[in-house]
Structure 1
């Protein structure tokens, strides 16, 4: 049962003072049996009151605002967490689509998580679905084959995509990062009628050399009949065990964005995201991303949005 110390800093800087910054944060560890929160400290510029609630998907969410003029906003999370998931999972590889339909019957959220979005290149997705969904295959086997297909046929390349990148564009590039591979896998599995959800968190493999180590990370959870939700990481083609720390879940990244919000003022902003993961053996992995922000409102007031999107590797 490894223990990880995770330090996550999101920092916005403005070229002139802004005011009335209103923000929502989802950087609280997800409450589940697979992880135990030993300590969590949250430090925010100006020490505002943070109102917390549980959102539609079960994520702990914090809302806060900073009304006075300011030229920087820093959100710092210090987390000590123990992961207690087994290293060897007992996933049900026997239940198939008949069992899935029975367990989904009448469950609105499950139906919502099994419905694909409309895209222009659905034909390409259907071709992949045909390859991975052979008759008689279990839900777990289809899931595993989907992860393997993405891992083998799509290149891991940083910097060619962003949070606005669509599944159509991912299929065109045949490349991306964890966020892209998660969105692609979600669309493929949902096209097969399998409920699945986006997961935001951290990957902490220490010396195993996994892609995305030490940064905010994204993967997929799939509902397997007779088992429940099982995490799988298409970026590394592995089932999720005790090397992943979960923050939030949702239908897409937008439901899980660690930081998003808005402010008033004609300022230009820069964003940097720092993540460090310290291991029990004393080894520490650090990563700093300077994010290029392009989105601006018509009145030249940019949104403070999706604070760690480029930190997800």
Structure 2
């Protein structure tokens, strides 16, 4: 078991005062057997009342309203968490699609997560399916082959995509970062009617030099019959182990955005994201980003869901 110290700050700066900032946050560690929260401190500018609830996907979320006039909003999370998952998780490579067909119909959540999105270039997804799908293979083997295909045929490049990039555009680019690869893999798996969900979290320091290390990260969980949810990371072509700390799950990125909301006021805004991930021996990774947001002078201004995207590398 490994223990990680994770410091995550999202800050917004406005060039004039704004009011009535209503925000929804998902920066609480996901409650599951694979990780144990030792301490979690959350500090928000103005110390507003925080209403905590569990959403449809089982994520712990928070809702707050900063009514008073302000020129800065800072949301700071300090997390000490122990990863309890083994370095290698024993998966069930024996159960096939017939077993999946026996588990899914009676579970509305799995049915929902097994439906692909409607995209323009579904033909390209179908072509990928033809290259990896073998009906006699186990579900775990098919998922693994899908992960490996994306890793080998799509190039990891920072900055070529953004938060609004669609699966169609990812196919055209043949490149992207972790969020893009997760969305692409979800479309492929769901086309094969394998329930799968998007996962946001952190990838923690290790000796293997994984892509996205020391920052927020995204990967996929697929439903393996007889086993349950199994995490797999197409950015690094690995099954998830004790280096991945989970924050939220959902159908896609929008269900897992760490911060989203609105405010009132004709203000220009700047957004900064800082993430530091420390290991037990004192070794740590950190990254700070200035996120470019569109200017607007509407009375209701959308705080962009760019937090996770800014640090997902």
Q: Counterpart in 2 of 1:289?
A: 289
Q: Structure 1, residues 115-147: CA drift from partner, whole Å, max 9, x if none?
A: 001001100000001111113011101100011
CA positional deviation for 1:218: 0.3
TM-score by length of 1: 0.98
CA contact (8 A) 2:268 2:295 kept: no
CA contact (8 A) 1:232 1:239 kept: yes
SS in 2 for 1:109: helix
Q: Does 1:65 align with 2:88?
A: no
Matches within 5 A, 1:28-177: 28-177=28-177
SS in 1 for 2:261: strand
CA positional deviation for 1:309: 2.1
Aligned counterparts of 2:4 and 2:88: Cα–Cα separation in 1: 20
CA positional deviation for 1:99: 0.3
Aligned counterparts of 1:286 and 1:292: Cα–Cα separation in 2: 20
Q: Counterpart in 1 of 2:195?
A: 195
Aligned counterparts of 1:309 and 1:59: Cα–Cα separation in 2: 19
CA contact (8 A) 2:23 2:259 kept: yes
Q: Does 1:303 align with 2:302?
A: yes
Aligned counterparts of 1:300 and 1:127: Cα–Cα separation in 2: 46
TM-score by length of 2: 0.98
CA positional deviation for 1:295: 6.9
Aligned counterparts of 1:72 and 1:309: Cα–Cα separation in 2: 21
CA positional deviation for 1:15: 1.1
Matches within 5 A, 1:240-259: 240-259=240-259
Unaligned segments of structure 1, at least 5 residues: none
SS in 1 for 2:140: helix
Q: Counterpart in 2 of 1:226?
A: 226
CA positional deviation for 1:224: 0.2
CA contact (8 A) 1:261 1:303 kept: yes
CA contact (8 A) 2:264 2:299 kept: no
Q: Structure 1, residues 239-262: CA drift from partner, whole Å, max 9, x if none?
A: 001000000000000000001000
Equivalences, count: 312
CA contact (8 A) 1:267 1:301 kept: no
CA contact (8 A) 2:266 2:296 kept: no
